[in-house]
């Protein structure tokens, strides 16, 4: 079956993305997409790139996009790297900054792509257990024994944010190695570590346009760091693929960064809907962790999460379930539109009633 595969690839267990259903319309609350479309300016910008220009290669440095990001974040383009989704940016960062055969640290419960990248590149890792309440035991990351650290903030799939002072503690305790801060969900209420990149040469902040800017389908990820780290990422990228972002992605990402008003409005809407959904779920008896992201992590003491996920699926609603120790009675629920979440809460209430759990 795996004839001809290299020994490294034979042993790999790839990441499994959330379901993208075909042939039936679901309320999709399973992959943390934004329920609102991208800015109309993005659609117009893509339209301008769909003619004759497609015969030309895109700008390998995505200068226009990096300049727009520099304006938005008040940085220089030399402090910014862009890639084909933040998954690619993370993969490049693992290759650029972590050493095969040496051990890096990340939590036991976090974005499940990290161990996959580490395995792919032969990097060893310790999965440090989160505390009982799913917060990060910061001191475990501060002993100076790791060849790199990865923290996702706010964490996925819990939505819990680690205070910036704690992130800074980790950065300061690991001056000789890179601390990678994955801020995929930062725009939904978290505090970004971006302000640290000029102070600490060992911090790389990774963000995405897939969530708060509604561009999951375009694949645009960003990294921010000292120009030395950015040059490291470029060395990996330019040894792999000169054109990781196509013309449409560069145009779309640039326009999304320029439409500040749309960004503010849609993310505020998601946050407001999230808070209303937290209240409704708690009223129904769910334990819901405080979330700084566009999803909720919730568990019901009487109703098995896996049963609920299946029952919701039959009713046309997709949520994410992880069959994994410690979190196998939780659902991760992405925040949809106000109407989506009203339907979701109504269906959940009906299911609880059916099981006699209200």
Given the rule CB under 6 A, which residues bind ligand PMP? 85-87, 111, 152, 156, 182, 184, 208, 210, 216, 221
Enclosing H/E stretch for 105: strand 103-107
Helix (H, G, I), strand (E, B) or coil at 259: coil
- Nearest distance from residue 351's CB to ligand PMP, in Å? 26
Question: From CA 334, how far away is CA 252, in angstroms rounded?
Answer: 23
Q: Which is nearer to ligand PMP, 141 or 295 (CB)?
A: 295
Q: How far is the CB of 217 from ligand PMP (least distance, A)?
A: 9
Kindly tell me the burial class for residue 55, based on how many C-beta atoms sit within 10 Å of its own C-beta (0-12, 13-18, 19 or more).
exposed
Of 21 and 143, the one with the shorter C-beta distance to ligand PMP is 21
Residue 41 or residue 216: which is nearer to ligand PMP going by CB?
216
Residue whose C-alpha is closest to residue 277's, from 340, 214, 330: 340
d(Cα 179, Cα 174) in Å, to the nearest integer?
A: 7
Kindly report the three-state secondary structure assignment for every residue of 263-274: HHHHHHHHHHHH
Nearest distance in Å: CB 357, ligand PMP: 30
Closest CB 303 distance from ligand PMP, rounded Å: 25
The runs of H, that is alpha helices, within 102-214 are: 113-121, 164-173
d(CA 150, CA 219): 22
Contacts of 214 (CB under 8 A, 6+ apart): 33, 34, 36, 37, 38, 39, 42, 256, 266
Q: With respect to ligand PMP, which residue has the nearer C-beta, 152 or 296?
A: 152
Shortest distance (Å) from residue 262 CB to ligand PMP = 19
| CB nearer ligand PMP, residue 88 or residue 259 | 88
Angle at Cα 260 formed by Cα 248 and Cα 48, nearest 5°? 25
Q: How far is the CB of 135 from ligand PMP (least distance, A)?
A: 17
Q: Which is nearer to ligand PMP, 247 or 332 (CB)?
A: 332
């Amino acid at each position: 079956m795996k004839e001809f595969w290299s020994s490294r690839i034979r042993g790999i267990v790839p990441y499994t993305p959330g379901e993208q259903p075909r042939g039936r319309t679901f309320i999709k609350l399973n992959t943390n997409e934004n329920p609102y479309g991208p800015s109309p300016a993005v659609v117009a910008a893509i339209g301008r790139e769909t003619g004759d220009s497609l015969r030309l290669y895109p700008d390998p440095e995505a200068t226009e996009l990096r300049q727009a990001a520099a304006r938005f974040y008040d940085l220089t383009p030399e402090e910014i790297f862009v890639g084909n989704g933040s998954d690619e940016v993370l993969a490049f960062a693992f290759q650029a900054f972590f050493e095969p055969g040496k051990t890096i640290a990340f939590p036991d419960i976090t974005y499940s792509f990290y161990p996959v990248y580490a395995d792919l590149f032969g990097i060893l890792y310790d999965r440090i257990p989160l505390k009982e309440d799913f917060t990060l035991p910061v001191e475990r990351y501060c002993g100076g024994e790791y060849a790199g650290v990865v923290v996702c903030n706010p964490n996925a799939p819990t939505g819990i944010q680690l205070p910036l002072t704690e992130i800074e503690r980790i950065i300061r305790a690991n001056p000789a190695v890179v601390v990678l801060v994955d801020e995929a969900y930062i725009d939904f209420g978290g505090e970004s570590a971006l302000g640290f990149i000029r102070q600490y040469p060992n911090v790389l902040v990774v963000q995405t346009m897939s969530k708060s800017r509604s561009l999951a389908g375009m694949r645009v990820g960003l990294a921010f760091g000292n120009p030395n780290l950015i040059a490291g990422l470029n060395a990996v990228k330019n040894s792999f693929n000169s054109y990781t972002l196509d013309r449409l992605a560069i145009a779309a990402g640039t326009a999304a960064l320029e439409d500040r008003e749309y960004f503010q409005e849609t993310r505020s809407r998601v946050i407001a809907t999230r808070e209303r959904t937290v209240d409704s779920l708690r009223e129904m008896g769910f334990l819901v962790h405080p979330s700084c992201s566009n999803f909720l992590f919730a568990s019901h003491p009487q109703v098995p999460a896996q049963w609920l996920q299946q029952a919701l699926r039959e009713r046309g609603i997709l949520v994410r379930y992880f069959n994994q120790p410690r979190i196998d009675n939780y659902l991760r629920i992405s925040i949809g539109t106000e109407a989506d979440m009203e339907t979701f809460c109504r269906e959940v209430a009906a299911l609880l009633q059916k099981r006699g759990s209200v």
